[in-house]
A and B are shown apart, each in its own frame.
Chain A
Amino acid sequence: MGKAYSSLKNPLKNFNVESRAHKVISQPKPIPAPRHKIEQDQYDRMLQEYPKEFEESLKKNEELDKNLKSVFVTSQDQNINIKQEANPNRPLPTDRSQVEPSLYGIKEPEPNKVPIGKVTLGNVLEFISKYQGDPKNYNAKVIADKFTLQEQTVRNILKYFRVFEVYLPQERTKTNAKFVGPSLPRVHIIKEFKKQLPKPDSEGKT
């Protein structure tokens, strides 16, 4: 509908457009657009209240014009190398070397700067893997004492978080996959041969 309407309207809109344009351009002074109603009200009020001042503002003030001509702004480049003196009590950083990537992604704090009750990720990984190697001796209480943690928290961590075991397929396949699963506690039975008395057999009894 909109398109049909505009296609009807546009030829009328462009009727005699060139001569109308020339008429507007050829005027010596452009006619200003009408003011907004509120603005017009203010303008009229100003004319009524201060007619003298308004008339004056339209005239050119010769004295002010002369003053303006006598003003010059010059600039000289001086003191380009102002160096801020370093405060010895609060020295600014001078080391601009790049930060090296750390092992765990985020920089670990110094061992003596870890607050009580907190532990670094590196230490967590260490004690979890050590616990899984030797759960009897390296138990939750020992860990809690060593890293100044709550024993219950350590027990929860050891219960729910585990390091991985790697499973490799015996045959090499196309994918060359490596699997890692939670390491499980295993009992290693080592058979030692001990000296034993010979078992009493039927011949020995008689």
Chain B
Amino acid sequence: MYLRNITKLTQYLNKFSPNSNVRRNISSTTKLFIPGAYEASGQTNVQILNKDTELGIMINGFSQVGFRLNNDFTVLGSMVIFPRSVLSWNVHDVSEITEDTLSLFTILEPKIDILVIGVGDRLDNFDFYKNLLPFMRKQKIALEILPTESACSTFNFLNSEGRNVVGAMIPPKTFRVSEDDELVSKMRYQNLYVKE
């Protein structure tokens, strides 16, 4: 493990995202405690996949600089996520998704079930996909191309089902933030009850 000064890192973070405190969350919501809530049989339960460590690595949130996983690690930059392992992916843009950058998935044994590609922002132009399609057909790899926001949750669900899924994610440049995300980010970094 490398112990290094964090200041450079925070500078890097701030450069990419001026509003770096806020982060889009995939699944975490604040737990509600309501006194007198129904607790007998037939009670409805919510199971949050990301909190179940047995199901494998999942993506808790993302921002412009990277992804937060459910094992308390924050990945910087693009990543390739396997059911229980993560690799860094040296791809920064959709145009760089080619046969070469996907070469790893063609030689894996056992063959992967599905490849979920998170392309970052929502796309209008799917030319890269047309170029990719014959190659993926030839290699017999199922593709799922989505904006990163939906790709993350798709990966989480497929992983929880125990499929041999691989996610190739590029962090988005823009994303929408809900009030809940702001609250969760605030709870993480600062005291909620202090005036800004």
Mark A residues whose CB is within 8 Å of B.
101, 103-109, 114-115, 117-121, 124-125, 128, 149, 153, 156-157, 159-171, 174-183
A171–B39 Cα gap in the complex (Å)? 43
A40 to chain B, nearest CB (A): 53
* Given A125-B85, A177-B74, also A170-B104 (CB < 8 A): no
Contact indicator A162/B9 (Cβ below 8 Å): no
A31 to chain B, nearest CB (A): 48
Using a Cβ–Cβ cut-off of 8 Å, how many residues does chain B contribute to the interface with A?
A: 41
Query: Which residue of chain B has the shortest Cβ distance to A103 in the bound complex?
Result: B84
Query: For residue B80, which residues in chain A have a CB less than 8 angstroms away from its CB?
Result: 161
Query: Which residue of chain B has the shortest Cβ distance to A107 in the bound complex?
Result: B110
Contact indicator A117/B188 (Cβ below 8 Å): no
Contact indicator B101/A156 (Cβ below 8 Å): yes
Is B109 interfacial (CB 8 A cutoff)?
Answer: yes
Contact indicator B104/A161 (Cβ below 8 Å): yes
* Given A165-B2, A175-B188, also A125-B87 (CB < 8 A): yes
Query: For residue B34, which residues in chain A have a CB less than 8 angstroms away from its CB?
Result: none
A94 to chain B, nearest CB (A): 24
**Interface residue ranges of B110-145 to A (CB < 8 Å):** 110
Contact indicator B1/A119 (Cβ below 8 Å): no
B47 to chain A, nearest CB (A): 19
Contact indicator A182/B73 (Cβ below 8 Å): no
A180–B74 Cα gap in the complex (Å)? 6
**Interface residue ranges of B33-75 to A (CB < 8 Å):** 54, 56, 72-75
* Given A161-B87, A163-B87, A182-B77, also A106-B100 (CB < 8 A): no
* Given A159-B90, A161-B87, A179-B76, also A117-B100 (CB < 8 A): no
Contact indicator B3/A115 (Cβ below 8 Å): no
Is B194 interfacial (CB 8 A cutoff)?
Answer: no
Query: For residue B106, which residues in chain A have a CB less than 8 angstroms away from its CB?
Result: 153
Query: Which residue of chain A has the shortest Cβ distance to B80 in the bound complex?
Result: A161
Q: Determine which residue in A105, A107, A174 has the highest number of CB atoms from chain B within 10 A of its CB, and name it.
A: A105
B192 to chain A, nearest CB (A): 12
Query: Which residue of chain A has the shortest Cβ distance to B1 in the bound complex?
Result: A166
* Given A166-B2, A178-B72, also A119-B101 (CB < 8 A): no
Q: B101 is contacted by which of A149, A160, A171 (Cβ under 8 Å)?
A: A160
